[in-house]
Structures are given as C-alpha cells and as structure tokens.
Amino acid sequence: MRRASAPITFIMLAALLLGTSLFPATSQATWTSGSEGPLDLPVLNASWVDPDSSPMLEETPIPGTSSNAMFAVDITSDEVLYQDSADERVAPASTLKIITALTTLTALDPDDVIQVSAADLVDTTVYSNAQLLADDEVTVEDLLAGLMLPSGGDAANALARVAGGVIGPAPGQSPLDRFVEEMNAIAESIGMTDSNFVNPDGPDHPEQYTTARDMAVAGAELLEHELLSEIVESPAWEITVTGLNARQYTVENTNLLIGADRVHGIKTGTTGEAGQSIVLATRRGDNQIISVVMGSEGRYVDIETLMGHLDDQIRWVEFGASDDFPLVQQAQDRHRFAFLDEFTVPMLRDDIGEVTAEYEVGALRNPALPLRWGVVVFLEGDEELYRVPLFRTFDSQN
C-alpha cells in the first residue's frame, strides 16, 4: 500500500504562500532536424511504470479469461492493481495508434488541413478505414478521430506522411519512415521501455511489439491531452471533408464499451497475430484506472472479468470527511473544520476495517485571523497511513 506524508494540495498551498514554484521549467522536444513540435511529451513520473513495481492483487491468471497479457493500474494514486504477463512482448495491433496520435500532435496542429493522397488509402475489404478518398481535404482533428474511432489505416497513413515531412526526413528517408522513427522516440520519451513500432497503423510485423504495461503508459499519456481524450470517449464523430469531394459523414467508435458506466476510452486493436486487444480507461470515484488486455479471444469478456475481479477485492476509499469515515464527518459537523485536501486510494477490502482516524486542531495563533490549523491522521492499526491537513474557520468561544 502506498504511504503518503502530505497531500500535494497542502504542499502547493505552502508553495504559493512562500512565492515558490513546485514545477521545473520544461523544454520543447526537439527533432534531430532541429525543428520543434507544438507539444511536450514528458516522461511519465510514476512508480508503476517500473516492471519491478508490485501489484495489490496476486499475480495469478483470472479464471474465465483468455488473454496473453493483462494489466491494471490506478494512475491517480500510482498503484498497480493487477498484472499477469504484463511485461511479455505481444503484437500491438491497432492499439499502437495511440502512439500515432501522440506523435502526430508533436508536429501538426489540430486545425491543419491535410489533402489525402491515393497512396494513403487501404484495401477496405481487409483493413479498417475512415472512409477517405483520394484528394479529400480533412483537418488533422478529424483525421485523428478517423484514426482512433474506426481505427482508420488510411487516416494513419495520411497523418504519418504529412507529420513525417514536417519532422524532417534524413536524406533518402521517406516521410513515413521518419514518422515511425519518431513514434519510437516518443514511446521511449514517455516511459515505454519494451516496445518497437515499424508502421503507423498496426498490421502484424515480426519486429513490431509492445507490452501490456507499455500500452498503459501510452494510454496514460493520451489522457493528458484534452483533444485526444475527447475523441476516444466519443461514441461517434462527424468528419467534414472539403475540396472536390466535399461531404460530411459519421464514423463510429470500435470500442463497444463506450457509453458504459464509468468508461471513457481508449483504443481497441485486432489482427491475426495479436488477437483481440483493448486499452480501457475507467473511473472509480475521482480516480482514473487504465486496464489493458492483449492477445485475447474475447476482449470485452476479459476486460469486464478483470474489472469485476478488481471490484470484488478492492474498494476505492475517500480519505476525508466521507461516507468511508462517518466519525470524521461527525467531527467535521461538530467542530466546523474544512480539509485542505481529500483524496481517494484503492485498498484491499479486507484491510478497510482496520483503518481508524484521529484529529487535532491547534490553538488560535492570531485573533485577527480566526483560523485554527490541524490535521487528521489515518491509521491502520498503529501504522500511520496519511496525514490530511485541515483548518477551522471560527473560534469555538464565539
């Protein structure tokens, strides 16, 4: 179980009062050609990215599932919930389009317009597509929707061709190859440690692989970007084509769980070698969970079985004046104090009954400023779990 000494909101408040900054200056990612893209993609600073991190639940196969690899992480609390073969190499299929989308936005603006070429098109009897035609003129934003929702290989090719040209191919290198090269650089930069990509749309290739943990890293990075988050949680998207082929049409999300309770993305994938895969974002309270199923015979059965397994053994506990701690709620009502921060943490259901809380409110330090500072300490037995700072907004004598 993760232990914490002080929630970040309290630290941030102290920093603001002291006039200091908690966040180091960031630098733009630079291309080998020397040009710069519009987005930063910093390394994901989370302990769960490390393959040596320990999951909350036992690493044993879940009965009723068929996947080659599974992984689940609470990215809000930085807790690995479950893993099974999470660091074994698997074929990514179209889940790699998460990296295609991220790489695109380091080079292109969503409002840029791309003219589709005949070479971008795919065999629609074989490959998923975004219904594009040669000479279509489409914004990057709509092409990203065509990439992520119907999993369009044609959209992937168009985006990679143009973005690769902007990034700047080396002499004799095609824009597509330059884009794929940058995909691998982006993957490494965000913390993916065992992935290699050779195309932007996901067909099987002997040198193309990833891991379930790496795809969770990619999913977590995608959720940092407002546009991509909006796209992947949309059941459908209207694409507008201008130019000679001007028209409007709707593409639908291949993720059949979109619209289900607490689901908000991210991407499916299917090929002969990869089997069925899904990277799924869900919510438990205010916490975001990413679950990954790779190499499945039935991804929706497996992902729902995985989430059921988590919910059977884990409960998301709100540390503060919540229904999880009714005595703290009663004390708050009686003494009229407010928390500087409240947060939710996954806990094994068997451990919750052992958690207790103690609170203390200090003396009034300045009568002109009637605030009493204090703390609630949450304990598991005699072991301290968390300290949550609070303040009391009146003098009890008045």
DSSP 77-91: TTEEEEEESTTS-B-
Which pLDDT does position 60 carry in this prediction? 93
* Average pLDDT, integer, range 228-239: 98
* Average pLDDT, integer, range 67-84: 97
Residue 209: phi and psi, rounded to 5, are -155, 165
Distance CA 197, CA 205 (A): 9
Query: Is domain 44-314 given the CATH code 3.40.710.10 in the classification?
Result: yes
Encode pLDDT of 321-349 as tens digits: 888 888 888 888 877 788 878 889 999 99
The sign of the dihedral angle between the CA atoms of 257, 259, 262, 265 is positive
Q: Which residues pair with 338 in a beta bridge?
A: 391
Three-state DSSP class for residue 263:
strand
**Residue 38: pLDDT over 50:** no
Going by pLDDT thresholds of 50, 70 and 90, the confidence category of residue 130 is very high
Domains of the chain, residue spans: 44-314, 317-392
Which pLDDT does position 119 carry in this prediction? 97
Encode pLDDT of 99-123 as tens digits: 999 999 999 999 999 999 999 999 9
Encode pLDDT of 290-300 as tens digits: 999 999 999 99
Going by pLDDT thresholds of 50, 70 and 90, the confidence category of residue 5 is very low
Closest CA to 187 of 220, 159, 140, 142: 220
Give the pairing of strands 69-74 and 79-84. Answer: antiparallel
**pTM, to two decimals:** 0.85
Element of type H or E holding 236: strand 236-241
Encode pLDDT of 9-29 as tens digits: 333 333 322 232 222 222 222
Distance CA 122, CA 181 (A): 22
Q: Are 212 and 71 in contact (CB under 8 A)?
A: yes
Closest CA to 142 of 182, 176, 108, 174: 108
Q: Which residues pair with 271 in a beta bridge?
A: 275
Q: Name the residue type at position 199.
A: N
First vs last C-alpha separation in the chain: 42
Query: What is the share, in percent, of the chain residues with pLDDT greater than 70?
Result: 85
